[in-house]
Structures are given as C-alpha cells and as structure tokens.
Amino acid sequence: MNGGVSLATRVLLFSDAKHFSLTKKSWESYNSTLAFGRPSSIIMPCSVLRMHLRTITITNVRVIDLRFPTSREHIGSDAVNKDPDYSAAYCILETDAGIEGHGLTFTLGRGTDLVVRALEYLSRVVHARTLKSITDDLNAFYLQLSGDTQFRWLGPEKGVIHLACAALLNAVWDLYAKAEGKPVWKLLAEMTPEQIVSAIDFRYISDAITRDEALDILRRNKQDQPERLAYLEAHGYPAYTTSSGWFGFSDDKIRRLCREALAEGWSSFKLKVGGDAEDDLRRGRIMREEIGWQAHMMVDANQKWGVDEAIERTRQLGELNPWWMEEPTSPDDILGHARIRREAAPTRIATGEHCHNSVMFKQLFQAGAIDVCQIDSCRVAGINENLAILLMAAKFGVPVCPHAGGVGLCEYVQHLSIFDFLSVSCSLENRVIEYVGHLHEHFYDPVTIRRGCYMVPSKPGYSGEILPASLQEFSFPDGAAWKEQPRELSALQA
C-alpha cells in the first residue's frame, strides 16, 4: 500500500477493485510498475495497466458444474424443452496478476457434467500460458482447441465439445478485456480490422466471405463509430421480451405478463408455439389483444415440426402477423428452412440458437434460408466464431438478432450486438436482442434494461461473471440449492 498512487486513485483506475479481486501481491506489483517506469504516469493509467497485464500468466483453471433449478417454476418451457434447469459449464482462469477470466456455456441441466468434463480437458491448453501468447493469435488458439487429433472425432465443431470450447474462449476474451480495462464490445470495436480477422477461422467459410472482404467491411465502418456509440449510449440497443409467452404459462398469466411488460416499455414480444394448432392461435390472439397490432410479436416453435407441417403452421400463424417465425424445424435443415421461407412467405424465418458452427450459418446465408440470424454466444466457439458469423450476416444483408435468456446469454450477446452496430452491420434496422428476465441477480455485472433496451455495459470484461455466493449455492450436486432436492432431480449422479 505504499506505491505511487493513493488508494482512492487506484480504485478509480480499476473501475472496481472488488471486480478485479486484486491480491496484495498484485497491488504491490502494479504499484512498483508505476513507481519504476513512469512516476507521473497517473495521467494515462489505462495504458500502463495494459502493459502490465499483458504479461499475465494463467496459473490455474477452475471448472464448475452450475445448475439453477428453474424447472420447478416452469421457467423457460417451450414445445420441446419442457423442464429446463438453466445451467452452465463454468470456468475461471486464475492468473498471477490478480485478475480472473470467467467463461460459461449455457446448458439445460442433465448432461452439464459432460461439458464440464470436456472443458476440464480443453482447459489444459491454457495452463501456464501467458495471455499474450493466446491473444497474439486467437485463431491459432481456436484451432488448437478444435483440432485435437483425437478429440475432434466427437464433433468436429459441434455438440458437447464445441459447447465446452465456447466456455473456454469466452473466459479468454473476458480475461483479455479485463486486462485491457475495457468491456468486450469496446475491446472489439477498438481492435484493428487486422486483429479482428486474425481471430477468425476462414478455412471453411472463405467461399462465402474472404479475409479481404471482412477487412473491407471493418475498415469502412471505422468511420462514424463515435456517432453510433453516442446513439447507443443515449438510447440503448433495442430488445424484445420472451418472458411473457412461455409454453407452460396459462392464458391469464400471458395476459398479465404482457400488460406488465407493456407498462415497462416493451414493444416486442415472443410467444412459444408448437402445441395444438388451435391452442397456438388462441394464445397468439390473446397476446395480440394485449399488445395490439403496433407492437412486434414473434412466434417460436423450437424445432417442433417437419418441413411440410412447418409450412402449413407458419401460414396459419400468419394471421397473427408475426415479426418472424423462429425454429420452425430441425436446426440442421438448411434446405428445409429455405423451402419454408419460400413457401410461407411473407413471414420472415429465423433460426440460429442451435446452429452449431459457422459452416452451418454460412449455408443458411448461401441458401437464402433465413431473414433473421440468431447467433448464440455459447453454441458456437465463443466470440471467435461469432465474429465470422456477424461478418457473413453483414455481407449477405441478414440482420442479427441474438438468442439470449438462459443464464448469462443476455449478459454476453449485448457485447456482440453492440460491436455489430459499431463495426459490422452498422444498422439497428430489424435488429433486436432477446431478453429474458431471469437469473440476472447472480451476475456481478448484470444487464441493464431501460424501456425495452439494453443499456451499454461499462465494466471491463464480458459481463458473464457470476457472484461467488451463487457459484457456491448452485454448484451441482453439492450446492445448497440442490442439497434440499429429492434424489431424482440429481440426475447423472446416482
């Protein structure tokens, strides 16, 4: 505590000392840097901080199986996912510099242990590495994770091992952003176009977008960034709510929640469909009665139908004038989505939350299969792969409206959409971020919603860090939240 700056200044420099979990040792180290190199560097503390933190080494990785018992209240229910326990395979990259990178991938409960185990395996790649050795070539790092010569057989680039890959990459970006003292959106927006494209694996997508085309988009959009950022900081990024129309909710509950959401300033509402056709329409009419016809209403079948049925049901639901029809069929069915889009026109078609990698998104664009690209921050390989998808979406002129909800997805995707507006699509037209109002209280830096918009986050990192008490309470199966439960809920543990 005897360095070159006062305690008050230090707190200011770090935005929030608690967040950075600074140890006494790292404080001393930081202070000695200031004292040695730049006695008067207090006028530009951030860059000094960066210089210092770029030498940080990852000393340990903690992996946690985290599950919230949301199924007890039917939260998140839809036509396919009837009883989700919103969960995460969660990792913490501990460093010798007193900061931590936190990353998660979202799951629905049972099976989270598989992702945890895959994550434990993949995380060996970062042990004892400097952060710089990773961020200097982020695509090489991704290829190291995805290209393990034995492990990749289990995918490649899909399912359990890709979800695990996402958690680790999200943690790396969180650490990177904290080291730079910026929220992830700002880190991305301030990276050079060359740095952005160097994080992207173009191997299998260069027939749709080349490295040079991506560079062109990013370079062109450097101009007017300040104006767009000023707009976002004033108004926020538009959002829609999924909290009013879950599949398991009664008609009365839908009415009540729609009214409450309208009062809060929401203007776009999602309804879960995929049940009996008449039920879907009845629930849709109820929602329209409440929200009127000026508000946006989107319908989501969560993959329930085959292609022919999806066409028929999408046409029927046209009565509700949906803003889009989401996941009408199998997430793997690119040509099916293209046909549904053609034959159920003019209803716009959306998918993506289960689209497992950039090769699949590439084809959705190439086939003209979607009107709305619903990226997910955890299904694909974290920020790296989402950069590729954002750039392809911009080239093909498809608006990106991220999938969110679950646990941590809202916190994550706001960064991606803000970056999309600042540097890639540069448009808010037909663009909204999903919002679901659950579990945010567990985050250190939860999203801020005002009148149906995401406010721009300002804390360093990727906003996915969960509070220590929550990590403890909801760890599975030993956290307090699960200890009270009968054994049958503790799946995979018997």
Residue 107 interacts with a second copy (CB under 8 A): yes or no: yes
Q: Pairing relation of β-strands 296-300 and 268-272?
A: parallel
Is the Cβ–Cβ distance between 182 and 175 less than 8 Å?
no
The nearest distance, CB 290 to a second copy, in angstroms, is: 29
Which H or E run includes 300? strand 296-300
User: For the window 334-373, what string marks contact with a second copy as x by the rule CB under 8 A?
Assistant: xxx--x--------------x-xx-xx-xx--xx------
Residue 62 interacts with a second copy (CB under 8 A): yes or no: no
Signed CA dihedral, 62, 164, 98, 469: sign only: negative
Residue 100 interacts with a second copy (CB under 8 A): yes or no: no
The nearest distance, CB 354 to a second copy, in angstroms, is: 7
Collapse the DSSP code of 408 into the 3-class scheme (helix H, G, I; strand E, B; otherwise coil) and give the result. coil
Beta carbon nearer to a second copy, 111 or 446: 111
Beta carbon nearer to a second copy, 116 or 466: 116
Beta carbon nearer to a second copy, 160 or 262: 160
Collapse the DSSP code of 116 into the 3-class scheme (helix H, G, I; strand E, B; otherwise coil) and give the result. helix
Which H or E run includes 373? strand 372-373
Q: Catalytic pick from 186, 270, 272, 415?
A: 272
Residue 267 interacts with a second copy (CB under 8 A): yes or no: no
Of 108, 277, 286, 428, the residue at the interface with a second copy (CB under 8 A) is 108
Collapse the DSSP code of 94 into the 3-class scheme (helix H, G, I; strand E, B; otherwise coil) and give the result. strand
# chain residues binding a second copy, by CB under 8 A = 63
The nearest distance, CB 140 to a second copy, in angstroms, is: 17
Q: Catalytic pick from 270, 403, 438, 442?
A: 403
The nearest distance, CB 91 to a second copy, in angstroms, is: 16
Q: Pairing relation of β-strands 449-450 and 433-435?
A: unpaired
Residue 404 interacts with a second copy (CB under 8 A): yes or no: no
Beta carbon nearer to a second copy, 110 or 132: 110
Active site residue 403: yes
Active site residue 442: no
Closest CA to 208 of 200, 220, 219, 196: 200
Tell me, rounded to whole angstroms, the distance of Cα 229 from its chain centroid. Answer: 20
Residue 128 interacts with a second copy (CB under 8 A): yes or no: no
> In 3-state terms, the chain is what percent helix, strand and coil (to 5)?
50, 15, 40
Residue burial 429-463, b: 16+ Cβ < 10 Å; e: rest? ebbbbbbbbbbbebbbbbbebeebbbbbbebbbbb
Beta carbon nearer to a second copy, 109 or 452: 109
Spatial separation of the C-alpha atoms in residues 363 and 373, rounded to whole Å:
12
Of residues 160 through 199, those in contact with a second copy by CB under 8 A are 160-163
User: For the window 297-316, what string marks contact with a second copy as x by the rule CB under 8 A?
Assistant: ------x--xxx--------
Residue 396 interacts with a second copy (CB under 8 A): yes or no: no
Residue 73 interacts with a second copy (CB under 8 A): yes or no: no
Spatial separation of the C-alpha atoms in residues 43 and 227, rounded to whole Å:
26
The nearest distance, CB 311 to a second copy, in angstroms, is: 9
Q: Pairing relation of β-strands 349-351 and 433-435?
A: unpaired
Candidate ranges 17-25, 183-191, 325-333, 423-431; the one touching a second copy (CB under 8 A): 325-333
Tell me, rounded to whole angstroms, the distance of Cα 184 from its chain centroid. Answer: 12
Is the Cβ–Cβ distance between 270 and 241 less than 8 Å?
yes
Candidate ranges 154-162, 219-227, 252-260, 421-429; the one touching a second copy (CB under 8 A): 154-162
Q: Which residues bind a second copy (CB under 8 A)?
A: 80-85, 107-111, 113-115, 117-118, 121, 148-163, 202-207, 303, 306-308, 329-336, 339, 354, 356-357, 359-360, 362-363, 366-367, 491-492
Residues annotated catalytic, as ranges = 272, 403
